[in-house]
Structure 1
Amino acid sequence: MVEQPPSDYYDYYPTIALERPVVLGGIPSSPYREVGHSLGALAGLPLVDLDHWIEHHAGMSLWEALQQKGEPVLREAAIELITRAMASRPCSLLILGAAAPLVDTALEQVQKSAALVWLHGPPTAMYWALRQEQQEKGPQPSPFVPFPLERFEQLNPLLQTLRLYQQQADLCLEVFEVRETVNRLFAALSDLGGAVVDEFRDV
């Protein structure tokens, strides 16, 4: 006879209860989405992906929305959505993603309402990774990167915007290995605004 699991076996069971949201972003080509989803799964945190939320709101991809609606309209929607996400409870892990340039004017609000974590890396490595991405997938994955990307200098306006996030981040990490980064962030969550609920369930 197969033993039935406890009635709460599949229940949502966070290991961290955040006192304020954690906003996770990074330079293009950094694995912020992979890190965010892995961290959310490890900590049992509600997860909001701003890129996907904007796309759902617009009914099209971020790249298509940028082309059809224009940056001012998309910026207004993005700021409204990130404000709503930071105000929602329980506090969530919010992945900033490619939409980061749309909400740079809300950075002060992010600092007041959330903890900001930024993943960075060598700009030259980012440049070559983005060139390869464009060759393989076109402009859609990174809509705020100039297309076609042929010179490093084309990235300067974007880098200037993203540098604000790095300068204002509560925690800034260079990613060498995803699992290591996830573990470091998990260990830092209490300092970033969370309280450990229970690291291990009774087994």
Structure 2
Amino acid sequence: MAVLVGKNADIYLATGTGTSMTGEAVTDLTGGIYQITDAAKRAINPNAAITVLDGVATVPPANYQISWASGKIRLTNGYSAIGTITVTGQYLTLAQAAQGFEWSLDVTPVLEDTQTFGDSWKERTVVQRDASVTFAQFYNDGYFHTNLNSYYVLALYINVAGADRYLLGAQMTTAGITAGENETIKQNVSFAIHGGLDLATS
């Protein structure tokens, strides 16, 4: 299990209604990976219909995977683009969370037992990947408690002065408040990943 922790880092959230984008241009990152060119439109809304076009033809959903937070389209099942790839759907706008001072990212493989009769030792195969995030902030308002069912886009900055950040879509799992006598009130919020995790440097 890989545990990555960042202190004094920023976290950005996106919720609410998305903004439509039609025929949005992408950049070819090679290897069958495409990313929405306009950085302001890369947080794709997973709750809205999305269409990936290869020229004028619609790419079957079985032939691509979406990284919702980073705006990446990964072509799968041996599919290769013939024309220009574009994306139609909705994007979300990110806003900095208030009063945050710490986050942690926990990345884990999902393993299945694959040993057979007669094997002396366990054998395991990675079948999926999972991740969770915990975010600590000084209590500001009841925002998280009144938005328990919202979808979030998290941008976890490693360096406040730089652009390095982990990007993921997520659902909130818990929101707790800690208060003590003569102490600041703090809030810890936990999230479970929805889709892929990306490391962005620009």
Question: TM class, shorter-chain normalised?
Answer: under 0.3
With normalisation by structure 1, the TM-score equals 0.25
Higher RCO (C-alpha under 8 Å, 6+ residues apart) = 1
With normalisation by structure 2, the TM-score equals 0.25
- The structure number with the bigger radius of gyration is 2
